[in-house]
């Protein structure tokens, strides 16, 4: 089984798929509540507990993590946000190594989408395209909607973690073909 993670300081997407790419688990860990999670370490501890649950319930063979942003883009994350994201990504990556006793592999979001056959037209938001792709092509993937009939915030993170997991599966298949 493959574990895919979309790590964030607010909502972390977690997906487990089997060797055929079927969804075994597709959840989100919401750490936005500043009273419940006042620090980065309290968020990481909460994610760690979820990873232990997964380790207890599933036999994970590979772990893939969405590579954190590496550069600035106008209108996007600030230096502080990128730094915090890198910190949580590093902490959770270490937790994966500790809990599953394996090094995670990192996949850039653009590479993951490409491996899954998702094309994002210029000028459109990638997260919306990914979510729509899954809703249109994967009957296993479902989402909740807000009162305003918008996808719940965790939907995007769950979708991204599924794409990371499936891209990881595709990389495994490609490696097996070469062997």
Residues 78-116 pLDDT 10s: 777 778 888 999 999 999 999 999 999 999 999 999 999
pLDDT at residue 76 is higher than 60:
no
Pick from 72-81, 93-102, 118-127: least confident: 72-81
Cβ-proximal residues to 135 (8 Å cutoff; 6+ apart), any chain: 141, 143
Q: How confident is the model at residue 74 (pLDDT cuts 50, 70, 90)?
A: very low
* Strands laid side by side in the 23-30 sheet: 23-30, 11-17, 2-6, 62-66, 105-107
- From residue 94, alpha-carbon distances to 34, 97, 174 in Å are 24, 5, 26
> Model-level pTM?
0.91
Residue ranges of domains in the chain, CATH in brackets: 2-178 (3.30.420.10)
Say how far apart CA 148 and CA 152 lie, in whole Å: 10
pLDDT tens, residue by residue, 132-151: 999 999 999 999 999 999 99
């Amino acid at each position: 089984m493959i574990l895919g993670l979309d790590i964030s300081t607010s909502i972390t997407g977690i997906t487990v798929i089997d060797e055929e790419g079927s969804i075994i688990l597709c959840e989100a860990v919401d750490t936005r509540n500043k009273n419940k999670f006042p620090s980065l370490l309290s968020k990481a501890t909460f994610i760690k507990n979820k990873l232990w649950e997964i380790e207890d319930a599933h036999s994970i063979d590979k772990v893939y993590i969405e590579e954190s942003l590496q550069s600035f883009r106008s209108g996007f994350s600030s230096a502080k946000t990128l730094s915090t994201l890198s910190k949580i990504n590093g902490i959770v990556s270490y937790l994966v190594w500790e809990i599953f006793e394996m090094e995670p592999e990192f996949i850039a979001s653009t590479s993951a989408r490409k491996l899954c056959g998702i094309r994002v037209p210029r000028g459109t938001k990638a997260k919306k395209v990914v979510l729509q792709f899954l809703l249109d092509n994967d009957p296993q993937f479902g989402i909740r909607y807000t009162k305003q009939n918008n996808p719940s915030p965790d939907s995007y993170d769950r979708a991204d973690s599924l794409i990371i997991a499936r891209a990881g599966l595709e990389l495994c298949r490609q490696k097996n073909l070469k062997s």
